Structure formats: structure tokens, C-alpha cells
Structure 1
Amino acid sequence: MEPVTVWWAELGAARPALLGLAGLLDPVERARRDRYLRDADRDRFTLGVAMTRLAVAGRLGLQPERVPLTRACRDCGEPHGPPVVDGGPHLSVSHSGDRVAVAVSPHGPLGVDVEEDSGRIGDDIARQLLAGDEPPGGRAGLLTYWTRKEALLKATGDGLRVPLRKVRVSAPDEPPRLRLWDGRPGLAERIMMRTLDPGPGYAACLALLDHPEGVPVRERPVAELLRPRADLP
């Protein structure tokens, strides 16, 4: 069975290649990148777009610049939504701190989320994040809840239109799974989840919607994507 692949990059290590990778962005992507105010945000976005194009290009047999990515928002149609390739594969992108993740699946919708343990998760976040029967589990537990719920919202395409308290997941010390989504009976049976390994100081999770039972998940370094483009500065 063809695997789901999660590609990982560390921004600091990838910075020497960013000048060349920026050439893979199309005009819409370049305009979106230029709206970011901070260099780090521009760099994370550039790296995420380039990784997406390289990962899909390898599957479709295209040059990365020719990968037909669209980014139309579901609500307004403007090009600030998540990346989509008509006909697949399915995509999800996340970045936080020094980590960038791109998940690719030939089987169905998916969501990936990575979060840095920056210490900014406090009581205010917990009130927005946790349902009444979810035990907090400290800062690390809240970070785990956050990545699990964000991954689920990406997989279903809801994004932050759904309050996180309506999505109930397993406790941080248990394997990840959707327990209940208020108002959506039967959804839990269609979801599989995996804890990912982004490295120390981070938490990450992958959610798969309507995937084959037992589908393998592979985590790969960005170096494997960049190797065919060793000509980049």
C-alpha cells in the first residue's frame, strides 16, 4: 500500500537553499509571501511552498514550477487557503518555530500540525482548547491537545471555523484518536491519527480522513527532496 509521507525541514538548516527555492513560487505565492512582515514568517512560508511543490512534482512527474497548486479560500475564494492539487495528491502544511512539515497522501484528506513548545500556552488558551471532560495534563498536555485538534480541523477542511472545544480527543498520555465531534456522529470511525516526531521542543500530529486501514505513515527529511536540486545555491 502506498504510504502517507510527512516531509520535515528545519528552517535554520534550510536557509542556505532558500534563495534558490524562492524561484519555485508562482506570482500568487510570491505576493502572499511578501505580505508577511517578519523575515522568519516569509522564510517558513517559502520553505513550505517549495517543499510542497517538490513533493508533488516527484509524484506527478512534473517540474516543481508546473505543479498545478491552487489556494482558493472556501469562504471567499481569495488565494489564501491551503494548497490543493485537483485530482490529488492530498496535501497539508504546517510550520512553527524552526520546523516546517508537509504531509502528502494519495488516499484522502489529511491534516498535519506542528507546534513549538514556546511557553505561550496558558490558561487563556486552555479555556478555548479543552472540552469539559478533557484533563489538561500540564503545558505539554495542552500542546498535545492543540496539535491533535488542529490536525483534525485541517483534515476535515473546517479550519478554525469550528471551536476547538467541540472536538474531543484522547488524553495526552494515550494514543491519539478522535473521541467525539459535537454534531457529527460517525466521524470518529472515519478518522485515524498518528503522533509524529518533530524533534525536541515540539509536538506534532497527523490526522487522516477516510484512509485505508493500516496505511503506513513515513516521516522523511527535506534533504531527500532537495537532493535532485543540488544546483540550487
Structure 2
Amino acid sequence: MWRGTVDMEIVPGDLALLDADERERLERMRVPGERARFSSAHAGMRRVFAAYLGAEASAIRFGRARCPRCGSPDHGPPRIVAPETELAFSLSHSGRRWMLAVAPGGPVGIDVEQDAGRDLDAVQHVLSDAERVNFDALAGERERLLFLLRAWTRKEAVCKALGIGLGADVTALEVHPREAGPVEVTFGAGPWDARAWTVAELCGDEDEVAAFARPRGRTRSFVVREVAALLPSK
């Protein structure tokens, strides 16, 4: 696992690493914070893979695998096209934090959420019936917020590992938000996949919750590294 902190403004050294497609996506963004987050996360991701693959960060090419649901190559999970590698990855960002999960042979999913200004009503629709009962039994707002953030990040991590995003009915996915984890879950998200997952919680800052998912039976051990260690010396 790798994590980084977003600069308030776009850093020229980050921008220089992005390819034409990434720069085009960046140009379409109108919110300064969103632009800086995208540039920082994608440049950081390139630096990480440059270290893994022994390649120039700017030369790494990304593409899409086919969508597990419909087979389209346009909106499947991201993958590295060149250099050739079996590494799978998942990228997430929220606020000024971004995180990258890397796994040999895949799949892997990660999600990070910061609670600043979080609307509790906005994410309750992801809860299963049992999770909703547990949620309603909580009295404190902080407890309720942590419960929801755990539920949201764990479900999104599983869906991203599946390569389907939150387009599936995640109310059918029980992720045990009352437990600190790791937790074992089974998700039959549709005819395209049904497998067991291990979902673990990553310790972050006080105002953030992060989770990652791997197929059950794969290693549970992980290390969280700071991308700042890969930045060029000033």
C-alpha cells in the first residue's frame, strides 16, 4: 500500500509525468482541488510503478481491462499496458489523501474516505438490512459516522477489486462495520463473479477511513508506505 498527500496546487514535476490522456482528463476538470488531487495521485502512482518495474515514470502506459459485466474495453478496471507486468492495482483519493494498493496477480481494491462535511443520509442506501439495524442502534453521531464510513469503504473496495465499481447492489454485501477487521465476506455481485474476499481496514489519520479487499486465501499482510520517499530530492 502506498499513500500520499495532495498539494494545494499542481506541481510542475507531477504534471511532467502525465501522458496525453491524463492531461486531457485534467484539462476537463474545473475545480482546482480536483485537478491538484488528480495530478498528485497519478504522478505518485507512476513513481511507484517506476520503482517496481524499473521503468521511466513517464513511459508507463495505462489502459483498461474488459468490463466483467458487459465485456466492454472502455470502462473496465484499470491496468498497466506497458511494461508488461502481472501487478494489479487500485487507486482512491478523498480530500487531501490518496492511496494506492498494489498486488501481484490481482485482483485488489482500495477505497479511502475522509469525513469532513460527510452527509450521513448520503451513504445509508448502501447498508444491508442487518447493517441498517445495527446502525439505527447507535446513539452517538461519531459512532454512526464511523460505521457508515467503514461500510462504504469496505463495499467500494470489494467492488473495485471485482472491477465493477458501485454499480452493483451492495445492499447484498455484508461487511460487518462494527468489527475492526480483517473480515471475511462473500459477494455474489451478479452472474459475472461470486467469490470470497478478505477486507482489511487501514489505519490512517483521525478523520479518514480506508479499506482494501483481496480474494480470500491471498496474503493478509501488507505494508503502508509513503510516496514522499520516492520524490526527487530538492
Instruction: Name the TM tier (shorter chain).
Output: 0.7 to 0.9
Give the Å deviation of 1:68.
2.3
In the comparison of the two structures, how many residue pairs are matched? 217
Mapped to 2, the partners of 1:48 and 1:112 lie a distance apart of 14
**One-letter amino acid matched to 2:95:** G
CA distance 1:7–1:59, change in 2 (3 Å): same
**Aligned pair 1:46/2:39, yes or no?**
yes
CA distance 1:71–1:39, change in 2 (3 Å): farther
Name the Cα RMSD after superposition.
Answer: 2.4
- Within 5 Å, give how 1:28-39 maps onto structure 2: 28-39=21-32
Mapped to 1, the partners of 2:188 and 2:61 lie a distance apart of 35
Mapped to 1, the partners of 2:150 and 2:172 lie a distance apart of 16
Structure with greater contact order relative to length (CA < 8 Å, sep ≥ 6) = 1
Q: Which runs of 5+ in 1 are unaligned?
A: 1-5
- Are the counterparts in 1 of residues 9 and 36 from structure 2 also a CA contact under 8 Å? no
Task: Tell me what 1:208 maps to.
Answer: 214
CA distance 1:102–1:174, change in 2 (3 Å): closer
Match of residue 130, structure 1, among 127, 148, 161: 127
Task: Tell me what 1:96 maps to.
Answer: 94
Give the Å deviation of 1:181.
2.1
1:62-92 CA-to-partner distances (Å, cap 9, x unmatched) read 01011122246736544x7653114331111
**One-letter amino acid matched to 1:224:** A
1:186-208 CA-to-partner distances (Å, cap 9, x unmatched) read 622xx222211221200000111
Give the Å deviation of 1:130.
0.4
**Aligned pair 1:164/2:170, yes or no?**
yes
Select between 17-26 and 38-47 the one with higher mean Cα deviation: 17-26
Q: Which runs of 5+ in 2 are unaligned?
A: 139-143
Mapped to 2, the partners of 1:17 and 1:121 lie a distance apart of 28
TM-score (norm 1): 0.83
CA distance 1:82–1:53, change in 2 (3 Å): farther
1:146-165 CA-to-partner distances (Å, cap 9, x unmatched) read 01101110011111220221
CA distance 1:159–1:122, change in 2 (3 Å): same
**One-letter amino acid matched to 1:11:** V
- Are the counterparts in 2 of residues 107 and 211 from structure 1 also a CA contact under 8 Å? no
